[in-house]
Structure 1
């Protein structure tokens, strides 16, 4: 009896062929992957910027342009309106306290001054006349009182004499009573006269006091009026340099109109506008550095303005000596420190970061023939350097120019092109 023999599916020959095919596919895949991962590009090194990684002082700062200003400025406004009659100083002149600047003319104020002076003189004349009349009246009353005292003494003498004679029955009772009544009348008359004199004296003092107070008030008004006339001569309130003087002969100035400003000579400051991105990192006392004619100067933040419009406005003053060759209104670039200065590994800033995001860089080999893609990690930055945290060490050389067109490369072959 015959037995059916099944044909084997996986014969040794088939297994060898399958293994060979798989090996070919694996090798092809590895070769393809290796070629894609290590894509190369020939680049002329003259088109690149190659920088060296260094270790040195590093500080975060923001560069801003400031404007040189005086530490203190006094604005000069016209306290009274008038026509410019004389200009007594030149714009930019250095003034002393109280030195006249501009002379204004105001006929209305002058006429009002004359009227008030006349009113004061009239009131003072009335006071003088009233005092004389009251004094004359008092003299008359004193004369009247003296006459009454004389009559009282005479009536007393007659009364005392008649009393003695009446007791001795020399005169009649009628004569005694008549002298007694006259004596009592003169006593009452003297009492009423003295009372009237006291009351008139009080009234006179009150009237004179009221008139003197009126004169005093009018004299105070007159003094105020004189000061208003004096304000027509605009003077320097302190020592300083007059700037922005805005006046012409014959020009009408209204009260409160700006005619210039007085810059104090006590020193200069720098005012700058910082991007509001740094608003939380700006504080009074913060260090600032400026270079004037190649010489460094130190400043510090003294005032931060609360209003934030197109940026944060700050004032900075010089610490120590102030540069002698800077002027008001001059533009001065300054560096506002955002951190203390420390030692760090640093790489110069360049366009490479736009494509890499600070995650990798092309590192040049020792002989400068190739540059390999190397992973790195960057930290802080300033306008000059990036701080390197990982991936590079001092002495390494990297390409810091733009990586436009190189971002998918794994290796750059640095070969100069020869014409």
Structure 2
């Protein structure tokens, strides 16, 4: 007879095993999730710095080059090809000294044609003025003749009047004498009025002609001066720089041929990163190292135009002492942006490039643990720590490039 097997106990056994397996797997998964990611590093390959409480000074350092205080460009007034060169780059020149001569045959011919045309116009205007003078002279001659006729008529009138009163002269003769005298008198008055008006009109025309002649002569003078612009001369005294003309090379009008530096005082010119544009102001002071001593400088001008991510700054030397400077020298300018304040500071390192200053590895025995921090201001030497670190703590400041995902660094 077959025996009936009871499977209830086996089911309970399998269920218990399944539950135990689930618990083990769950614990393993939980452990993997909650376990901090670690990374083993050699202590000799990292940089460890100590957090300090010290005076923080907001400053920046940038390179500046020495430039003359004043300079002037030598520009081409009349374009042409270089025919002669009289000086060399770097020479000291005086105002008005010839530097180079250009030649342009087309412009030269054009000047000659313009000069001929202007001279012809001046001659025509002088001829018109001479015609007016001759016209006045002819009128004056006519007036003299008319006045003479009037005097003859008046004398005859006075004589015939006496003769007529003495009944010696016939009446018809006397009437003719009266009529002739009246005619000559009215004729003279009319001619005088005409001559007066003609003189006034001529004076106006002559004035206008003289004005036109003056303008023409001024134009002629400018034209002749422009002809001299083919000779390039020094606009002021100083040292010639950036002067590199080549014989036969053509230059356009307005093109710069060189620069003259006035060797009376120097300034510093710097290209500064646009990040500092809002921080750099006119009047801020800084220092440079010159001959093993600190020389004070001050920002004279900020040129806010951004070119290739940089803007220009001009600085003047505060001291009036005669510094033995040379154009082209370069200095590291230390510019103070704020006064010193007591703060928690940390020496700068490469870690900031990988963390953007949001976290750092803090040393704890033979390991370093990841911690969130907040960084404030910075200068070329230090970061200002707002929160997350205390003075005396040690942190890893070298690059985090190989272990950005780690939460703990184990030192080997």
Query: Would the TM-score normalized by the shorter structure come out above 0.5?
Result: yes
Give the drift of 1:317. 0.3
SS of corresponding position for 2:408: coil
Closer, same or farther: CA 173–289 of 1 in aligned 2, 3 Å: same
Q: Could you tell me which of 134, 145, 149 is aligned with 2:143?
A: 145
Counterpart in 1 of 2:19? none
Say whether the 8 Å CA contact 1:64–1:273 is kept in structure 2: yes
Distance change >3 Å, CA 324–CA 222, structure 1 → 2: same
CA distance in 2, matches of 1:351, 1:254: 52
Q: Name the structure 1 match of 2:23.
A: none
**Offset, 1:222:** 0.5
| Structure 2 residue aligned with 1:162 | 160
1:381-419 superposed Cα distances (whole Å, 9 cap, x missing partner)? 33323446686547x877655687896258x69xxxxxx
Alpha-carbon shift at residue 219 of structure 1 (Å)? 0.5
Say how many residue pairs are matched: 368
**CA displacement 1:305-324 (0-9 Å, x = unmatched):** 34335424131303324863
Deviation by residue 1:203-252 (Cα, 9 ceiling, x = unmatched) = 43234333322321211110110221122222333344322223112222
Matches within 5 A, 1:283-362: 283-292=281-290, 294-321=292-319, 324-328=324-328, 330-344=329-343, 346-350=345-349, 361-362=362-363
Decide whether aligned partners of structure 1 residues 171 and 314 sit closer, same or farther in structure 2, where only a CA change above 3 A counts: closer
8 Å CA contact 2:360–2:396 kept in 1: the answer is no
Q: Deviations over 1:139-161 (max 9, x none)?
A: 44334333332332232232233
Contact 1:291 1:333 (C-alpha < 8 Å) held by counterparts: yes
| In 2: Cα distance, 1:402 partner to 1:176 partner | 137
> CA–CA distance in 2 between the matches of 1:234 and 1:100?
6
TM-score in terms of structure 1 length: 0.70
Q: Look up the SS of the partner of 1:84 in the other structure.
A: strand
In the superposition, relative to structure 1, how do residues 190 and 318 fare at CA in structure 2: closer, same or farther (>3 Å)?
closer
Partner of 2:105: 107
Counterparts in 2 of 1:161 and 1:58: CA distance versus 1, 3 Å: same
Name the CA distance, whole Å, in 2 between partners of 1:228 and 1:93: 26
TM-score (norm 2): 0.71
Equivalents in 1 of 2:110, 2:90: separation in Å? 36
Deviation at 1:179, TM superposition (A): 1.4
Report the alpha carbon displacement of residue 78 of structure 1 after superposing the two structures with TM. Answer: 0.9
The Cα shift of 1:117 comes to 4.3
Stretches of structure 1 lacking an aligned partner (at least 5 in a row): 1-35, 365-369, 414-419
Q: Structure 1 pair 108/203, CA: closer, same or farther in 2 (3 Å)?
A: farther
CA–CA distance in 2 between the matches of 1:98 and 1:362? 73
Query: Residue 230 of structure 2 aligns with which residue?
Result: 232
Q: CA RMSD in A?
A: 4.0
**Which residue pairs with 1:11 in the alignment?**
none
Residues 399, 250 of structure 1: CA spacing in aligned structure 2 closer, same or farther, 3 A cutoff? closer
Map Cα deviations across residues 24-43 of structure 1 (whole Å, 9 max, x no partner).
xxxxxxxxxxxx99x9x997
- 1:7-54 per-position Cα deviation (integer Å, ceiling 9, x unaligned): xxxxxxxxxxxxxxxxxxxxxxxxxxxxx99x9x9977x656565665
Distance 1:388 1:108 in 2: 72
In structure 2, runs of 5+ residues without a counterpart are 1-34
Residue 393 to residue 139, structure 1, CA distance change in 2 (3 Å): closer
1:76 to 74, 89, 94: 74
Residue 259 of structure 2 corresponds to 261
